[in-house]
Structure 1
């Protein structure tokens, strides 16, 4: 298998089925669209100028050079702090709604937590949803570095994503493996590369982009035509899922799809209310009334919310299909500084069914919160 071997004993570049469609695009003259779905590192955090120096921007510049004569468009679907589960629910609105997508990079290994099933559901949901709704799109998984995945051979989050990549033949680029090797050979000082332990500075973004470029050159300009044809036949259908509760049918609904009690108002954040991790419209339903509630109905295996949590957020409760209410307190240290979107996914059901959701505010709040605010940005369903 082609690839750059590292001291962990496996390649940084794992081509699998390759990118036959992107190779074929070289022979034409039509437009090429690449999308970048991920967290803050994909969005460009750490880079001195996100739209010029991030790994995403540098990869886009390389694609512009590679597909000279083609109109090349790049979509930034990176949102700080988001997991693959939220990525699967964002995929349609933030990526596929933009029209034909030729190449999709997915980067979530840093933000996904220790819940293996949830990571599988998220990454598998992205793959299956993409292949069902946009079968011409080719995917690449990108694994960036963080303290938690520089601890030894095949760290947990990357290993879980690799299960999905291997099952569906998705190429993967293990930037964390490259960083791990360079740290242990003395070529790289991690504390200078990413001072906060997550977000690389310009040199780090350039290193990631160089590895991505190496793979793209290998897969697109030096790929085998015969191998490309064989690979194209590999995705004519979807195999049975690894997890039947994956987020293949995940999506976001506007907050207005719910039915709200009279205490809610509909507004945008005020200038003095800072917003982080969200570059999209932020109009939402808002209340501080502890008696306020809202309801919505979807059909699927799962429902959820995207809430704007911040300095005045309180504790809420939800109920599914008239069942007992469960409490949600998502207040954390980040809430002290700004509002940000926080996805809340309710438990996955074994079968698709009608889900009637009731959410109500309470008089309770975190000791650090300044109020009992409830702000609804999106509704989630799968």
Structure 2
């Protein structure tokens, strides 16, 4: 396999000619293996010609920011949005906020239509490498390739750009010249489909190596901004020692330091990427790299006739907490209390449930084709509610009719023990918050189709 820097150079020198490489026949291989790439700031590939043409002409454009909590922060997302507005004569540049904290590309493949495509974006930034860091390369391929193919099936003139953020745990590998495994996997997909990418990894690693940036540090005492010693144009806060504190937790950048650095990389990359390629549809699609990718993933409402409920079940309005977390994210919300059940049949290869994790949640018993297993709806972070997926079945026989029964158990997990030690004071202070053992389900996430009872 060719190194990423070689492909980037080809893209820079030959523009659309790299398409011939991307469309080459796929060799039979182990898709759980990946060649670790050398970190690079950006790869031009076929550029962002459709978005750039509309932007420079002052036509209204929409940018979808599709990712996890780093993109959900009021950081590189709104900062870059303002940059793009500065490039448009009309400044008619709107965002589609499609980032959800703590979620990766798998949920992304299922929520793509709901959160992104129905808004008809002109450009989609896809940022899942950090949250996919512990995901197998094969699963990343299924999700990320599915996202790409789904976008271009529905909106063939929408441009896509992969974005890679960084955490403190990535720094040793980056300093040794190795990108994240998830980044490397996504770059293979980007090569194949000729998708440009921007990585914030090398810039952060360079500053760490130069002794100019600290990945984890308090934001107290940031009373001045960086000067000439850092050779940076942006006003970036520094501490009393003249170093940039990147973040408090090593993951989520401070808005006036790490996110400013991220935005700076994107601003330097965009002029080079935007001018590449020729406007027009991203079609025809080549044969898929992974045949069982999630390009046909769907999010289905719970009020489908194929789905039946029994026992203590309540449909909640989406303006009521905690169900309002599903507002604009799912078709609705059903609350199961202990003993409440949900049943349906389907044909397909993968099934998840779109649920909440939270302090007032309990344990689901899932029975798939006669085999039962538990799924706990609280984890160490659960001092609050957040969106989540529950895996029901994967790599299933697509020709078989599968039967599913979901039941909420009358079982109370030891929630205090489950919480991180730092979160246990919240349990001790607010025990009533942790008393309920309910389940909140927003949708069925399926690669396949429901079957009548």
TM-score, normalising length: structure 1:
0.85
Shift of 1:232: 5.3
Deviations 1:40-87 (A, max 9, x none): 11111xxxxx2xxx1000111111111222622111111111110011
Q: Tell me what 1:35 maps to.
A: 64
TM-score, normalising length: structure 2:
0.73
Asked if 1:288 is matched to 2:317, the reply is no
Aligned match of 2:200 in 175, 185, 199? Answer: 175
Q: Tell me what 1:308 maps to.
A: 356
Q: Tell me what 1:317 maps to.
A: 365
Asked if 1:357 is matched to 2:404, the reply is yes
Q: Tell me what 1:236 maps to.
A: 283
- Residues 1:56 and 1:26: Cα distance change in structure 2 (over 3 Å): closer
Shift of 1:377: 1.7
Aligned match of 1:205 in 251, 259, 263? Answer: 259
- Residues 1:280 and 1:351: Cα distance change in structure 2 (over 3 Å): same
What secondary structure, in the 3-state scheme, does the structure 2 residue paired with 1:193 have?
strand
C-alpha distance in 2 between matches for 1:186 and 1:350: 53
- Residues 1:242 and 1:277: Cα distance change in structure 2 (over 3 Å): farther
What secondary structure, in the 3-state scheme, does the structure 1 residue paired with 2:95 have?
strand
- Residues 1:139 and 1:254: Cα distance change in structure 2 (over 3 Å): same
What secondary structure, in the 3-state scheme, does the structure 1 residue paired with 2:126 have?
strand
- Residues 1:330 and 1:166: Cα distance change in structure 2 (over 3 Å): farther
C-alpha distance in 2 between matches for 1:141 and 1:281: 22
What secondary structure, in the 3-state scheme, does the structure 1 residue paired with 2:150 have?
helix
C-alpha distance in 1 between matches for 2:298 and 2:443: 10
What secondary structure, in the 3-state scheme, does the structure 2 residue paired with 1:302 have?
strand
Q: Tell me what 1:332 maps to.
A: 379
The size of the alignment, in residue pairs, is 358
Asked if 1:114 is matched to 2:114, the reply is no
C-alpha distance in 1 between matches for 2:395 and 2:135: 17
Q: Tell me what 1:14 maps to.
A: 43
C-alpha distance in 1 between matches for 2:184 and 2:253: 22
Q: Tell me what 2:423 maps to.
A: none
- C-alpha RMSD over aligned residues: 2.6
C-alpha distance in 1 between matches for 2:397 and 2:67: 28
Asked if 1:86 is matched to 2:115, the reply is no
Asked if 1:76 is matched to 2:130, the reply is no
What are structure 2's unaligned runs of at least 5 residues?
A: 1-7, 12-36, 217-244, 416-433, 448-453
C-alpha distance in 2 between matches for 1:43 and 1:159: 23
Q: Tell me what 2:295 maps to.
A: 248
What secondary structure, in the 3-state scheme, does the structure 2 residue paired with 1:325 have?
strand
Q: Tell me what 1:196 maps to.
A: 249
Q: Tell me what 1:60 maps to.
A: 81
Shift of 1:306: 1.1
C-alpha distance in 2 between matches for 1:269 and 1:104: 27
C-alpha distance in 1 between matches for 2:397 and 2:191: 25
Compare CA radii of gyration and give the structure with the larger one: 2
Q: Tell me what 1:266 maps to.
A: 315
Aligned match of 2:53 in 17, 24, 46? Answer: 24
Aligned 1:148-167 pairs, distance under 5 A: 148-152=169-173, 153-167=178-192
